């Protein structure tokens, strides 16, 4: 026999519908993902904001308090950029917005959260490229910086700290390189060299994206703290190390590798302690 199993036309159609239905059920609903973030923010009295930023509307969450000296802005990761290794998502809103949870866990000082373009809010300009190979494009970086301007003005802040999680670490670095008001750059499992990252995972290069490693020298005057999990198989230490090894990167930088941490665990749970550690530790030259 050529085939161990043969299906009639009706049976084959039924099987196909079953597979498709199962796939649909498995995918998190975009509305549920948005509601999850709304509820997380509302639990701390933070308000949703939709910020016009060039061709995009960018979702932010922030408390109502104003008049602070320094505002810390947390930038989200790539979210649900891909459904499978070969199928991009049609909505990159994260199912678990880890950067938002980090922002809400900050134990002191003023904080706000900034999503990536096309997360939570769809703009007519959104295209799949904005969360796939162009996720760190000049257009995306410029829009993020405009949104940072608005959050800073809303809070009445004079200076900002940028904290980027995962792909948000690249955006934070690229935004910081174009500004003169960044007091500190912090990345958590940050994608600071996407060329090294795509080669490591043998995936398609991000050909329409800027690379954070290319602005390492520009960021030399900025104090930096880069957190890495020693069990992070998504963005391991070598990706951050490639950024730090670029010439001219300055000395006011620190990379700390956390034992037992991976790409998601256990940043939020330990963030209050890690935050206090950053606040209380003077930066020393990298060894």
What's the mean pLDDT in 114-126?
Answer: 95
Q: Which residues contact 133 (CB under 8 A, 6 or more apart)?
A: 204, 205, 206, 207, 208, 209
Over residues 121-133, the mean pLDDT reads 95
> Does the pLDDT at position 188 exceed 70?
yes
Q: In the chain, pLDDT over 70 holds for what percent of residues?
A: 88
**Which has the closest alpha carbon to 140: 63, 183, 197, 81?**
81
Residue-level pLDDT at 125: 93
Banded model confidence at residue 259, pLDDT cuts 50, 70, 90: very high
Q: Is the dihedral of CA 64, 66, 71, 75 positive or negative?
A: positive
As beta bridge partners, residue 227 has 188, 256
Give the number of other Cβ atoms within 10 Å of residue 42's Cβ.
Answer: 12
CA-CA distance, 39 to 153, in Å (whole number)? 25
Check residue 280 and give its pLDDT.
Answer: 74
Within 10 Å of residue 127's Cβ, how many Cβ atoms?
12
For 212-226, the pLDDT digits (tens) are 999 999 999 999 999
Is residue 99 within 8 Å of residue 165, measured between CB atoms?
yes
What per-residue confidence (pLDDT) applies to 14? 38
Q: What is the pLDDT of residue 107?
A: 96
Q: What's the pLDDT at 23? A: 37
Would the pLDDT of 9 be above 50?
no
Which runs of E-coded beta strand occur in 54-99? 56-62, 70-75
83: number of Cβ within 10 Å:
14
pLDDT surpassing 70 at residue 17: no
| DSSP-derived secondary structure letter, 213 | G
pLDDT at position 282 is 63
Candidate from 20-34, 77-91, 149-163 with smallest mean pLDDT: 20-34
Q: Does 132 score more than 90 pLDDT?
A: yes
Residues 183-196 as b/e (b if ≥16 CB within 10 A, e otherwise) read bbbbbbbbbbbbeb
Q: At residue 283, does pLDDT exceed 60?
A: no
DSSP line for 106-136: --SSEEEEEPPTTSSS--TT--GGGGTTTTT
pLDDT in tens, 74-115: 999 999 999 988 899 999 999 999 999 999 999 999 999 999
Chain mean pLDDT for the chain: 89
- Quickly state the pLDDT bin for 47 (edges 50, 70, 90): very high
Question: Which residues make Cβ contacts (< 8 Å) with residue 4, sequence separation at least 6?
Answer: none
For a pLDDT cut of 90, what percent of the chain falls above it? 82
Give residues with Cβ within 8 angstroms of 184, minimum separation 6.
Answer: 161, 162, 222, 223, 224, 225, 278
């Amino acid at each position: 026999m050529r085939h161990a199993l043969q299906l009639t036309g009706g049976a084959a159609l039924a099987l196909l519908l079953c597979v498709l239905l199962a796939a649909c059920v498995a995918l998190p609903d975009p509305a549920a993902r948005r509601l999850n973030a709304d509820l997380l923010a509302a639990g701390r009295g933070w308000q949703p904001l939709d910020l016009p930023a060039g061709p995009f509307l960018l979702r932010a969450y922030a408390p109502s308090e104003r008049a602070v000296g320094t505002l810390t802005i947390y930038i989200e990761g790539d979210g649900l950029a891909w459904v499978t290794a070969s199928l991009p998502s049609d909505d990159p809103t994260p199912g678990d917005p880890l950067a938002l949870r980090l922002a809400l866990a900050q134990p002191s000082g003023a904080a706000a959260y900034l999503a990536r373009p096309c997360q939570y809010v769809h703009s007519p300009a959104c295209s799949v490229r904005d969360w796939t190979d162009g996720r760190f494009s000049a257009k995306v970086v410029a829009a993020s910086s405009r949104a940072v301007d608005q959050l800073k003005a809303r809070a009445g802040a004079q200076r900002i700290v940028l904290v980027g999680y995962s792909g948000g670490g690249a955006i934070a670095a690229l935004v910081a390189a174009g500004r003169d008001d960044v007091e500190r750059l912090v990345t958590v499992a940050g994608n600071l060299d996407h060329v090294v990252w795509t080669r490591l995972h043998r995936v398609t290069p991000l050909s329409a994206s800027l690379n954070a490693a290319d602005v390492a020298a520009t960021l030399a005057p900025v104090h930096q703290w880069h957190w890495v999990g020693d069990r992070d198989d998504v963005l391991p230490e070598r990706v951050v190390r490639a950024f730090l090894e670029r010439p001219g990167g300055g000395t006011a930088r620190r990379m700390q590798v956390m034992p037992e941490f991976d790409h998601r665990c256990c940043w939020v749970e330990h963030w209050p302690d890690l935050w206090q550690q950053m606040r209380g530790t003077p930066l020393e030259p990298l060894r």
